Structure 1
Amino acid sequence: MATNTDIQKMYIAYFGRAADVSGLAYWTNQVTLANSSEAVINAFSASAEYADNYAGKSNEFIVNSLYNNLFGRDAEVDGLLYWTAKLNDGTFSVGNVAWAIMVGAQNEDVLALGNKATAAQAFTDAMDTTDEIIGYSGADAAAEAKAWLATVTDDSATLTAALATVDTAVADAVAASDVNAGQTFMLTTNVDTITGTAGNDIIIGEDLQLNGANIQSFGALDSIDGGAGADTLKILDQNNAINVAGSNVSNVETVIIQGAAAVTANTTNWTGVETLNVTQSGGAVAATAAATTDINVSGAVLGAGTLATTNGKDVSVTHAGVNGTAEGAISVNGAAGAVSVTTTN
């Protein structure tokens, strides 16, 4: 089971930076509740930050980025090809690959990752005021924190130097914070009414397996108004099929859906949605959107299921088939704009 340190290492692997205070506490608690690291290791790839860093990038790029973030070096050729193949054929998710690379570290890599984790925890601990906790948000703050952590290697002297400057590093990150950064809202199992801020808010709904029971936080009765800013609704289900339809959603510009089973998403009646992204599914995908909404589908492991998009504006489908496995058909219907379908085996 993942520990607090392991969660910190996952922030390093995915984003190359130290965890924010509330994020580290939240994900550590989720692991405790679920009694399994599976509750979180794949959740990071459903984040807006992940999309900003890796959207449209190849699996080779993603694997090499994991190595650089964790160890400060490029992947060796054998490792690059092996883990890329696992992503391409759907055997492993990005979270599984990141976890495997992390726990499989050897020699200098162990030292480098250990030093980075120690520095990252010191950075998180140094955020001990309200202004610092709130201010460590947005792409600019993350870039500052990443640049500071990148100076830490397997050499203990680099860790000593980083720890000596941690308060300055936090101050620099907070000063660089994106002025448009909003808040993160976690949906609950109750009926939620969310009203966003003037910034770029993130709303997260999950379905987790906790103590043998499915806990679903995004429901048809929820009312979500993103407010101003460029807002993101993330829906993550690690257990069952997702059926996203109905609900009252407005002023949310980006919707990201990641599922362990089939995904059915219809955002036609949601106002203000500019992009519908289905980034992972473990079965059939049916994505429907208004003519003003771009649809992007990737990371689907279809099996016998089909992948179908209906309407939407610009539509992009990227699918890596599994060698020797018959899979369902892919269809794009009624797109108002450009269509791109890329398939590999």
Structure 2
Amino acid sequence: MKRISKLAGALMCISALNAYADCEPTKSFSAEETSVINAYIAFYGRAPDEAGLKFWSEQLAENGGDLSGIIQEFGNSAEYTSNFGNLSSEALVNNLFQQAFGRDADAAGLAFYVGELESGAMSLQSIALAVLNGASGDDEVIVANRNAASQYYVTLAQDADVELDGQATRDVLATVTTSDETKTQACAVIADDVAEAEEVAAAEREAEQDTTGLSCDNGSPNTTPVKKTGQLKGVGGFAFSSEAIEGLGGIKKQVIGTTGAAGEYSYYEVCGKPSVVTFCLGVKKNCSVEQLPGGIEIEEMSIGTRVLGQIEATRLPITVRDVIRATYPEATQNEQNEVITNAYQLALTLDSDGDDTNGIQISAAARAEAELYADGIDFTFANFDINANVVSLIGAVAGVTALISENQATVFDARISGITDVVIGDDDEDEGLYPGKFIESGYRISERSTTYLDENQNNAGTETEEFTYDSMGKLKSSMATYTEMLDDDETYSKLEIVSQVAYSHDTQNRVNEWVSAFDENHYTLEGEKVAHATGQDEFKYEYEDFRNVVLREMSDSTETIGESVEVKESTSGEFTYDDSDFLESLEYSVSSSETTSEISPMSETSSSASVKVMYTTDANGQVTMEKWDMEKDGSVDKEVMYEYLHDGRIKTRMTTLFDADGHKMGGELTQYEYEAASCFFQSHAAFFDTDESFAQVVCTER
């Protein structure tokens, strides 16, 4: 009844089945496989299972493609005895016609084959072969349609790592006639059934990994596994396998699957630790380094065939570049870039719609096809583009003989990778610690301009910042100039501060330290300098590596005013995150001291304060609002609101300051400008002439 209802639904929704038209896409099938599928249809009435198709196709190939040489053994099975062993000769012969053509045998044909069967002149297997070979007209069309639906099933089932029982595919194939519409409907039902079976299989794997009541192997009190979702940015339909680093009672939670349309993958956080996720070419069931037949060593670097790489899973988006860097940390930048290029060249060539602007999508058919060649494909191959298995794969899937160009792969890499996970501070004294971000999307900040506002929202000062980057696109330095005109009592006409910032990075290219040297000058109405101060700010960040988020931020600053006053300040803050790893709060303490040397004896004063910040985030985890309580007394002393561009980059940041009564007392408006970042992987995007002198860098504007 269940299957009938699905088919009835398909009949009522023909227009919704265009995705299954002609039961495509499927992987390619050899002549031997096509013949064996026909034999399964005629003799058993069903589509073959993966193992049976493989075995009998190999037997047929060894027999020179002559089905008659293996048909006797093919028909000797427990399945035949169970399903057909009690039927009469007439019923057996007629059933062959029903399974192959969906009709009863004509009277003459039935009488002839029954006579041959009962006399021993022909076996039922031989009759099945004769019936197939004699197909013509509508009968031939029906066999072809049922074969197409069977190929579609084999492709989907292999990719999903499931098998439907024989009766299920028998029921579906029985509905296929000469009409393309019935073939389309059958494929819709097959897709539905395979998806349902995949969900059941996933639930069964979950049940096998039940850790209820078990203790953490590492002694952690966090005994409840948390299933989370990460993202391999820009790559959908890639096989993955994740396994928890820590176990509960020796059980390490695993998830296998394929990345979603936006590159989503699943993993478990267990006992306070994440999972390691592996990405592979081919179908998901074979995505495991342990299952590889050794792999191929290329300059002692390769992790093995079919495997793209491994990385610790995180809720934050990762890219192929991140995976390769994590997999081959000892490799040089050029070696890493070569592997990244190989991966993107192949993935882009296999992309289902050939349009890289919407990311890469690898279809189930492409994954199943790749399974034929995956154990001979290593992403670290020096001559990857001419590897025989690579060429065969792209020929079968895309009908081409050459990969997408290195240049196209480079541009895609630059656009997807961008500049990520660069956290910067803000040295403005009333801004405190600011966990800002250089947003991804293949752009970097070139300039940031801020207008400071008084209580009437009038201009109270301006600041401009310019940023520089190294050849790999990492933030290198910035120069800021701040100018404020005429204070209230007119004791000076202009305040000017120039600061130069230098940035340092950790091994994952995140800013972990930055030092700012500043020079501050006050001028009179006539332009005379009346006050001078110099100083230095030092900021440091501590990250939680597997989630790639900032845990602690520390800073020390020293300011010398003239030659008599020295001010020192230290801050230390800790961030918290919600269950989705989105920023939730920041609490930090500030201690300061001021020493005046002109007074005898030397005067020193000190103070301390505590600050709390609460964050509001959108569905993507981007901060939309900050509420600052500068004295932790429950009031809001400052509110910061963010506006973003469509691709997630910050457009504006609006800060409003409040007095003790909640009245507005000023603020600032910061606007961001960007430049395309695809030039910054120079060793990857550069072309060189024959003497290796620099010839060209490819840059793309979006």
TM-score (norm 2): 0.23
The structure in which a higher percent of residues are strand is 2
Return the structure number with greater relative CO, CA threshold 8 A, min gap 6: 1
- Between Structure 1 and Structure 2, whose CA radius of gyration is higher? 2
The structure in which a higher percent of residues are helix is 1
